[in-house]
């Protein structure tokens, strides 16, 4: 197990290097520091002195990859690539263009993101699996057909519809929750109810339909027919045997997204005014703060790779026959 994890971590290094190089090319070669300076200064006729001053203030006045004027290792370290991209491997995210510490902002904003993402994941998982088992129990009946039609319809509707509809019904009509905003401490729950409900409802179509497919595949296997032949009830067959053997693909979909919960939801947090990492990224894109965008792209890649490794490890916990080599 340890050797496997170390090997997967080593495999992740070239992937992260590739992600880092790609983002560097996008932000510093395609979009040069001079272009970034002119966009941030926001003036039609920007002087060259103003551009050079902005670049010097934000550390963009150095060579991109190689500093021929320096000596020794400084030729590589005193470059934009080392200061803005290579330091990400040590999780030194630096400062945003307005001078704020990106690492501190991430550590503060990840908690509101988790406050929404974790309840949505847990409640949605419990509801979708239960509903899928209910549909499979009444498979090939009008309950099954009607549920599939409903799920496809819910899957086809944009997430914006659920957000706007939830805000209108629960906030404007019934006044059950604030339409947007956030508060700290225990007072935050009233601002989280609406986003969590919208998140759970918005995921029913895709989640339940996928679990239904998994359970129907398991129902047709030999061990299920053997369990029925032994006299077990259909309810016991579904909840003990079918659900247990479907845990591996379920874990694949759940564990892989666990680290990404820290990243938050771009659309949900923006619409509900939640100060999480999702809205943090959207604001950075709107303000053209590429330092934050680079940090979030790199962090997202790291968390996704971590999720894949956790998924492989979880296989051994669910199925003892699986061995990581």
Domains of the chain: 109-318 (1.10.3720.10)
Is pLDDT above 70 for 322?
no
Is pLDDT above 90 for 142?
yes
Helix H or strand E segment including 285: helix 277-286
More confident residue, 40 or 161: 161
Closest by CA to 111, choosing from 264, 302, 322, is 264
Tell me how far apart the alpha carbons of residues 92 and 295 are, in angstroms, rounded to a whole number: 9
Mean pLDDT of 240-256: 85
Closest by CA to 113, choosing from 303, 292, 270, is 270
Contacts of 18 (CB under 8 A, 6+ apart): none
Is pLDDT above 70 for 305?
yes
Note whether 290 and 280 are within 8 A (CB).
Answer: no
Note whether 207 and 155 are within 8 A (CB).
Answer: no
Mean pLDDT of the chain: 88
Q: What is the pLDDT of residues 24-77, one digit of tens each?
A: 888 887 778 888 888 888 766 788 888 889 888 888 888 888 888 888 888 888
């Amino acid at each position: 197990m340890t050797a496997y994890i170390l090997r997967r971590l080593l495999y992740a290094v070239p992937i992260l290097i590739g992600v880092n190089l790609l983002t560097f090319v996008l932000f510093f070669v395609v979009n040069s520091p001079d272009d970034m300076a002119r966009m941030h200064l926001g003036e039609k006729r920007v002087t060259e002195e103003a551009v050079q001053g902005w670049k010097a203030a934000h550390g963009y006045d150095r060579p991109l990859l190689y500093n021929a004027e320096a000596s020794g290792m400084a030729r590589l370290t005193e470059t934009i690539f080392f200061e803005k991209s290579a330091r990400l491997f040590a999780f030194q995210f630096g400062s945003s263009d307005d001078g704020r510490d990106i690492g501190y902002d991430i550590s503060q904003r990840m908690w509101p993101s988790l406050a929404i993402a974790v309840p949505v994941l847990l409640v949605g998982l419990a509801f979708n699996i239960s509903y899928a088992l209910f549909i499979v129990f009444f498979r090939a009946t009008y309950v099954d057909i009607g549920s599939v039609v409903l799920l496809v319809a819910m899957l086809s509707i944009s997430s914006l519809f659920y957000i706007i509809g939830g805000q209108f019904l629960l906030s404007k009509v019934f006044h059950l929750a604030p339409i947007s905003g956030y508060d700290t401490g225990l007072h935050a729950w009233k601002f989280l109810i609406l986003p969590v409900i919208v998140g759970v409802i918005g995921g029913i179509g895709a989640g339940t339909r996928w679990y239904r497919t998994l359970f129907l595949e398991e129902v047709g296997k030999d061990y299920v027919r053997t369990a029925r032949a032994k006299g077990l009830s259909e309810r016991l067959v579904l909840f003990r045997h079918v659900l247990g053997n479907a845990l591996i693909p379920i874990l694949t979909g759940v564990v892989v997204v666990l680290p990404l919960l820290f990243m938050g939801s771009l659309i949900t947090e923006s619409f509900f005014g939640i100060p999480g990492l999702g809205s943090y990224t959207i604001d950075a894109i709107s303000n053209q703060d590429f330092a934050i965008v680079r940090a979030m792209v790199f962090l997202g890649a790291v968390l996704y790779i971590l999720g894949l490794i956790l998924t492989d490890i979880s296989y051994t916990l669910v199925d003892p026959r699986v061995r990581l080599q």
